[in-house]
Amino acid sequence: MKELGNKIAQKRKDAGLTQTEFAEKLFVTRQTVSRWESGAVLPDIEKIGAIASILGTTCDYLLKDDHPDTPAAPSPVIGRLLKAAQGKKVRLNFFEEEADLDLFNNVCVITDFEGNWMKAEADTKKGRIEKLIPVSSVLSLEYVKEDE
């Protein structure tokens, strides 16, 4: 937990942001940022993509120990596929061992992607959810007609 906090603190300082400025960009309190940086608590998974984006790094760098701080670009084919699907209704099919039960067999919208991660939103039985998922867990995607 401490490693993630240290990475956030260092990248925030490198970006020239105070805790207050960083917190405002993420719509959280300065105290929340302080708790993340001290390792007292972890950021919600939904915030990781925004944190990485604001700090100019990748989710992989923030979440994985000993991962280099170099943006990991998806393969050109995957990047083109995700760019074309961004903002459209899709149904994601996952590799069996990596299935995301919240998104499995639900119509969702890919709202963003970076490196090896994508953010998807869906209306589920639990209500509207937003998830950050690894691109590598997706076997395929199928476009859904707008009227579904």
- This prediction's pTM: 0.50
- Give residue 136's pLDDT: 77
In single-letter form, the type of residue at position 68 comes to P
Q: Within this chain, do residues 58 and 99 fall inside the same structural domain, yes or no? A: no
Distance, in Å, from the CA atom of 61 to the CA atom of 30, rounded to the nearest integer, reads 23
Q: How many domains does the chain have?
A: 2
User: Which SS3 state, helix, strand or coil, does residue 101 take?
Assistant: coil
Could you tell me the residue range of the domain that residue 102 belongs to? Answer: 76-143
Whether 69 shows a pLDDT value over 80: the answer reads: no
Read off the DSSP letter of residue 115.
T
Quick check: is 55 in a domain? yes
Q: Within this chain, do residues 90 and 137 fall inside the same structural domain, yes or no? A: yes
Distance, in Å, from the CA atom of 40 to the CA atom of 72, rounded to the nearest integer, reads 28
Which CATH number do you get for residue 36?
1.10.260.40
Per the CB < 8 A criterion, the answer to whether 33 and 23 are in contact is yes
Quick check: is 148 in a domain? no
Quick check: is 58 in a domain? yes
Which CATH number do you get for residue 138?
2.30.30.100
53: which 2 tokens?
A: 């984006």
Quick check: is 70 in a domain? no
86: which 2 tokens?
A: 């961004």
Per the CB < 8 A criterion, the answer to whether 103 and 133 are in contact is yes
Q: Within this chain, do residues 57 and 84 fall inside the same structural domain, yes or no? A: no
Distance, in Å, from the CA atom of 107 to the CA atom of 64, rounded to the nearest integer, reads 29
Which residue, of 11, 28, 63, is where some domain finishes? 63
Q: What is the pLDDT of residues 25-68, one digit of tens each?
A: 888 999 999 999 999 999 988 889 889 888 888 888 898 887 77
Q: Within this chain, do residues 109 and 130 fall inside the same structural domain, yes or no? A: yes
